[in-house]
Amino acid sequence: MKVAWAGSREAFQVSDRMAKLVANDPVFEKFSKPMLGRKELFKNTLRKAAYAWKLINDLRLTEEEAKWLRHYIDEPNYTDLHWEMFVPAIEGQGTKEQKKKWLPLAQTMQIIGTYAQTELGHGSNVQGLETTATFDRQTDEFVMHSPTLTSSKWWPGGMAKVATHAIVYARLIIDGLFHGVHGFIVQLRSLEDHSPLPGLTLGDIGMKFGHGTYNTMDNGVLRFDHVRIPRNQMLMRVSQVTKEGKYAQSDVPRQLLYGTMVSVRQTIVADASKALSRAVCIATRYSVVRRQFGSRNGGPETQVIDYKTQQSRLFPLLASAYAFRFVGEWLKSLYIDVKQRLEANDFSTLPETHACTAGLKALTTAATADGIEECRKLCGGHGYLISSGLPELFAFYVPACSYEGENVVMMLQVARFLVKTVSNLGYKQPVGTAAYLGRVTPLLQNNCAVQTAEDWLNPDAILEAFEARAARMVIGCGERLAMFENPEEGFAELSIDLVEASLAHCQLITVSVFIQKLNHEIPGNGVKRSLEVLCYVYALFLLHKHQGDFLATGYLTPKQASLANEQLRTLYSKVRPNAIAFVDSFNHMDHYLCSVLGRYDGNVYPKLYEAAWKDPLNDSDIVDGIQQYVQPILKQKLHYAKL
């Protein structure tokens, strides 16, 4: 199962080796992090990032190994933006000459970059950005300027204190004419003494949710006061500006300007299963250790994992972790394919890839953030302790619902793709993830054939149910949209239904990828049979949760929906004996989990007790402030005795 989770034996070996390397190195200790003040926390992260870079070079780690190393170090920092956004932005949007100049500097970290798109006034609406890049023909330069307070760049990670360069998105202006938003490479700091260059105001935007997690990152604010950069620092793969000030567009689509976001959204989907599996591992192990009620004749109480209600909250999350792992893997291969096509100027699959990355980013991050919080509750009161590992994990993870495309905004992008696909049905056969919309007649006409709970243990029955639900919701929206004279007005009016239809479409993708995985790629019958159980749990849980959709579209009868739920409960009993094996297969080491409740050895209570004594408040019996503020209250003579 470990191999099935990792994707291959080689992938398992690489991640396992890096996990051990980090866990065994005292530099990467992290239990004390929540006790540090912001400055110490930040410096501590800089120290770890520098040490990690040294290890990467000294040990000559491969790119894959370096990624796992950063993952297990487990602290967001400036290198995330450098490797995941700055470098890919140059790769995807730079010309050959620009790549030749900038990539070697970035890849050896002689410069450190960030991605400065969002502003105080606009994040989702990229076309609404206000920073300007005005071409000056006399000097062959762009003048970067922040004309308003709301045009201040706001959020870019690593920008406040570390980055020496940024890809800055700004409105291109030539001779007073606006030519859309483009990316520019801008140097922020001196490579000698690290001070901000003249004309730039740079700072940190302040503390974020959760203490010890995202505050390791220096998210920044940046303002320009007429800062000049050479013309050849505009990223020019999509559009070019000549020295005469002529604006030209290549025959590559403008959407490539948004390419870096597609790349990172794919990574975020691939990473969702890491965060969810981490929370599920903690909650499952603790649910086996924790006992409440049910003692008979002085025997042990019931392990809380044996309560049906606990199982009904935990096992769908376990199944979701596996579903997200597989859909992340699938999306990665889709992305690698589109990247190769884009390099060869084939843009045909870009719209579908954009819809998949946007929609699956929204689906997986929302479910993962909610899932981590549910795992915290599954651990009862102890889940609220930092030493459970869950509050910090939640604080770290939850902004994924907002960054890289706010989730509702992303689902509306999926809706645009679906509406377009439906309106083209007469003359263009949909392919890939939308192929089912080409079979609308049977999907609209045929209803579910399930008669017994056992009938639900059939991948074809499940797939057809999810296809019919999504198709009916999408087509229904399409029909209602057609009644509006102004399509944009109609889209806005129906946006709530469109988001629900998009979610149905994305859930269909995750369910069908899980089924596909089982049909083709699982080594060993035992592993395959166990994963089949999780696949059914995932699908039937979604069906139960969204049964309103399945019933309202008329595909299921109430009887069939309740048979699905009956089957789901039976499946929970099949998951129970393997629950620990399923979470051990994630191969999460204690160092990575950083959780007293999720310890591999189950030795929870002594370690919980021990961890409490490490709190700085327990350094002495009488702490600072007691004599000054508590004793006077105790010793005062009250006028009003009853108060």
Ligand X SMILES: Cc1cc2nc3c(=O)[nH]c(=O)nc-3n(C[C@H](O)[C@H](O)[C@H](O)COP(=O)(O)OP(=O)(O)OC[C@H]3O[C@@H](n4cnc5c(N)ncnc54)[C@H](O)[C@@H]3O)c2cc1C
| Residue ranges in contact with ligand X by CB under 6 A | 81, 115-118, 122-124, 155-157, 214, 219, 399, 402-406, 408-409, 412
Nearest approach in angstroms of CB 94 to ligand X is: 18
Query: Considering the rule CB under 6 A, would residue 396 count as an interface residue with ligand LFHR5U4W?
Result: yes
DSSP 3-state helix, strand, coil percentages of the chain (rounded to 5)? 60, 10, 30
* DSSP string for residues in 601-628: T--HHHHHHHHHTTSGGGG-SS-TTIII
End-to-end Cα distance, the chain = 64
Q: What are the structure tokens assigned to 253, written together?
A: 């689509």
Nearest approach in angstroms of CB 563 to ligand LFHR5U4W is: 39
| Minimal CB distance residue for ligand X | 123
Kindly state the number of chain residues that form the binding site for ligand LFHR5U4W, as judged by CB under 6 A: 37
If you search the block for the tokens 């030539």, which residue do you land on? Answer: 174
Stretch that binds ligand LFHR5U4W, among 113-121, 311-319, 521-529, 564-572 (CB under 6 A): 113-121
396 makes contact, choosing from ligand LFHR5U4W, ligand X, none, with CB < 5 to 8 Å by partner type, with ligand LFHR5U4W
Tell me the per-residue interface mask from 338 to 357 with ligand LFHR5U4W, x by CB under 6 A, - otherwise. Answer: ------------xx--x---
101 makes contact, choosing from ligand LFHR5U4W, ligand X, none, with CB < 5 to 8 Å by partner type, with none
Query: Considering the rule CB under 6 A, would residue 115 count as an interface residue with ligand LFHR5U4W?
Result: yes
Reported as type and span, the H/E element at residue 12 is helix 9-23
For ligand LFHR5U4W, the binding residue among 46, 409, 425, 463 (CB under 6 A) is 409
Cα 597 from chain centre: 24
374 makes contact, choosing from ligand LFHR5U4W, ligand X, none, with CB < 5 to 8 Å by partner type, with none
Nearer to ligand X, 116 or 515 (CB): 116
Cα 402 from chain centre: 9
Nearer to ligand LFHR5U4W, 87 or 468 (CB): 87
Q: How many angstroms separate the CA atoms of 545 and 564, rounded?
A: 11
For ligand LFHR5U4W, the binding residue among 19, 111, 112, 261 (CB under 6 A) is 261
Pick the catalytic residue from 373, 374, 404, 467: 404
Nearest approach in angstroms of CB 99 to ligand LFHR5U4W is: 20
**32 vs 29, 37, 614, 616, 643, CA distance in Å?**
8, 11, 9, 10, 41
Q: What are the structure tokens assigned to 265, written together?
A: 């959204």
258 makes contact, choosing from ligand X, ligand LFHR5U4W, none, with CB < 5 to 8 Å by partner type, with ligand LFHR5U4W
8 A C-beta contact, residue 196 and residue 188: yes
Query: Considering the rule CB under 6 A, would residue 505 count as an interface residue with ligand LFHR5U4W?
Result: no
Secondary structure of residue 192 in the 3-state scheme: coil
Q: How many angstroms separate the CA atoms of 335 and 333, rounded?
A: 5
Q: Are strands 141-145 and 132-136 parallel, antiparallel or unpaired?
A: antiparallel
**190 vs 109, 111, 164, 221, CA distance in Å?**
14, 10, 7, 17
Q: Are strands 113-116 and 239-241 parallel, antiparallel or unpaired?
A: unpaired
Nearest approach in angstroms of CB 153 to ligand X is: 7
Residue 404 annotated in active site:
yes
Exposed, middle or buried, 281 (CB in 10 Å: 0-12/13-18/19+)? buried
Query: What residues are labeled active site?
Result: 404
Q: Which residues bind ligand LFHR5U4W (CB under 6 A)?
A: 70-71, 74-76, 80, 84, 115, 117-118, 123-124, 126-127, 157, 213, 255, 258, 261-262, 264, 267-268, 271, 350-351, 354, 392-393, 396, 403-405, 409, 413, 416, 420
